[in-house]
Structure 1
Amino acid sequence: MDSLIAASARALASGDPLGALKRVALREDPPALALRGIAMAQLGELPVARDLLRRAGRAFGSHEALARARCVVAEAEVALAMRDLAGSPQGLLAAADTLQGHGDRGNALHARLVAARRLLLLGRLPQAATLLEPVDPAGLPPTLAAVAELSGAELALRSLRIGPATAALARAQEAAQRAGIPALMAEVAEARAALARPAARCRNAGGERVLRLDEIEALLASGAFVLDACRRGVARGGAWQPLARRPVLFALARLLAQAWPDAVERDALIASVFRTRRPDETHRARLRVEIGRLRALLKAQAAIEATAGGFVLSPPAGAEVVVLLPPIDGEQASVVALLSDGAAWSTSALALALGTSQRTVQRTLAGLQAAGQVRAIGQARARRWLAPPLVDFTTVLLLPGSLPGA
């Protein structure tokens, strides 16, 4: 390695991309292309960075497996920043194995952290946990330690384990300060700020109030019957019943929980859930069928009793019924939550993260754009979507895969 390449690498490691570019900006050899790509990524020029890293990866010979693997990892990190979530992570994990086999433990760990962060974005929390479990941040260089602790903290937050998340963020802050990289310190500060912001609205018989994440964790552990409208399910005593893929049952459960301790008339349930103002016997028969299905699903959490005119939710003796509402209303909340991270998302990446069709995402974005909540940049396949950060509350409960105890 010549002196200019070494100096450029040291500048990148210290968070000085301009200093790195000064040394290799005019060079076209593979190591210089790779360093230029990483520098451009740090400056936010992600498409240029990806092109440079691909050129570097192709330019390294077949006998330079270590250098090629490092380019794969750097390109994967750029793709993550661009929210390009398509494709298989197998190439990245294979690069990690190559790096580990050549003794480059730091970059091998970095590759696995990039893969874990991709899984977290997609809401695949169990798979992310599997990748993060063997990672021990102790003894790592400060930058890697901070990223590892941040990833662990995000996994804990998304699983509503606030104590471990708080501890991991404290360690991440210490590591980021030792690394001295402003962008990393800002990311840790933003994650810590989320702990103090409202995460949801809580509505019960006594009225409505806002809750932080630690208060929501305590509520879910309290034994109360919680209708969670953020993640579309029902929780009580540590048991979780998802209803996100059963919209009719979720709508019925929400109406019954909001009305508790009162009953809801049959015609009111039919009008709201089946969207008709003139119910007939077919609607009443369907209501009986759907209530029966809901009873079977919720039998471990609460009973649903018939009254003279409708149905009433009946939790176990002494249990309170609470409705947990998202901090923002509407079916578009999850899209807004993903876009609020400040990155530019494609419709395909949003659809992949939300587990829905690209056409559904396009319709949602059209509505949000008409309301002035999001904006588009680029055209055709290069179009990306942005939204301003949401600073008044945290969107953890609206992100994919945020499940109790996941």
Structure 2
Amino acid sequence: MHDIRAIRENPAAFDAALARRNLPGQSREILALDEARRGKILAAETAAAEQNRASKEVGAAKAAGNDAEFERLRALVADKKAEISRLTEEANAEDAKLRDLLLTIPNLPHPDVPVGADETENVELRRWGTPRGFNFAPREHFDIPAVKPGMDFATAAKLSGSRFVVLKGAVVRLHRALAQFMLDTHVAEHGLTEMWTPVLVKEEAMYGTNQLPKFAEDSYQTTNGWWLIPTSEVTLTNTVAGEILEAASLPIRMTALSQCFRSEAGSAGKDTSGMLRQHQFEKVEMVSITTPDASLAEHDRMTRCAEAILEKLGLPYRTIVLCTGDMGFGAQKTHDLEVWLPGQNTYREISSVSVCGDFQARRMNARFRPVGEKPEFVHTLNGSGLAVGRCLIAVLENGQQEDGSVELPEVLHPYLGGKTRISAAGVLE
């Protein structure tokens, strides 16, 4: 949500920031609605003052026996009461229009975000690791012999349709090990507090983290009004909704493993093979709540937390900063981590880490109290640490061997009972 006062004070700057996102200016329409709303409010307040004055004079007219004046004043009070009701209703309608418009406008990009039209203009910050050389043609994850017994798309389609998978045996144990490894690392080494939250939320929680109204078609809603979360960013961030936090309690750093649900409404024809893009998947999420002056440093820290997971797994990756044309709706600035997938011979996104400024906090009314000062809106950040299914794909593809087996990262061996590989027959050994 945007600060209407900031738009009033500098509409040109607001439109210029939207232009960096390749969007048209919105300040004229916003300010017209704001002026209409404020005009109705002022008129209602004026009518209320006139009603109060007439109400006081009614008694005096009656006491003086001035029946004509008494009737005139009594009629005036009734008229003003009706006028106030009408003006208040009109002001509320203008306010709703203004709010609905502001809810559809994305966050303004941070000044240091590169300007660009689409993903081709993202800027690479750094790379880690060297993609492994293969003396055979590397397969995509679903074609690796070791994986085939444990990745069942046919049964999933029978149960649920396309873009679902049933994991079995060694593959599902590896999937579980990856999630546990990520959580343990974030808690023990990165200082995050582990949480467990619902996957069904109220509509206001989805609005709070800007999933609604923009991304309604990408999410699932139950018949009784709950929404299935697309990521635990929704629940973790909304834990501070409506709160006034003490400055000393910040930063708040949280992590959670959760089921995530996305309809992928805009992805028809994309990544239909394998489990790269699913309707239901697991993700380890990171969320931080900070003071405004600390949020950019926290963004860099969270990015390093995600990078550390990939480095411990020995997975080559690159870190990019998204340009203004590729950045998500609620983000001020985003770092994407892209892991090397030899089966596709390319880097693919495995984590997005975003700083949102006070954009979500205004929607949630989440504030903190600086010592001796008035409450201010907190800043919120979120990031994948990591998407478990995509990490599973990366481990399988990077560890595949010519005989069809998969060698597993050393850091996962303790999570797999000392097993170090999946045989070509699909058995942990």
Which protein has the bigger strand share?
Answer: 2
Alignment TM-score > 0.5, same fold? no
Tell me the TM-score normalised to structure 1 length: 0.21
Tell me the TM-score normalised to structure 2 length: 0.20
Structure showing greater radius of gyration is 2
Higher relative contact order, chain-length normalized (CA < 8 Å, sep 6+): 2
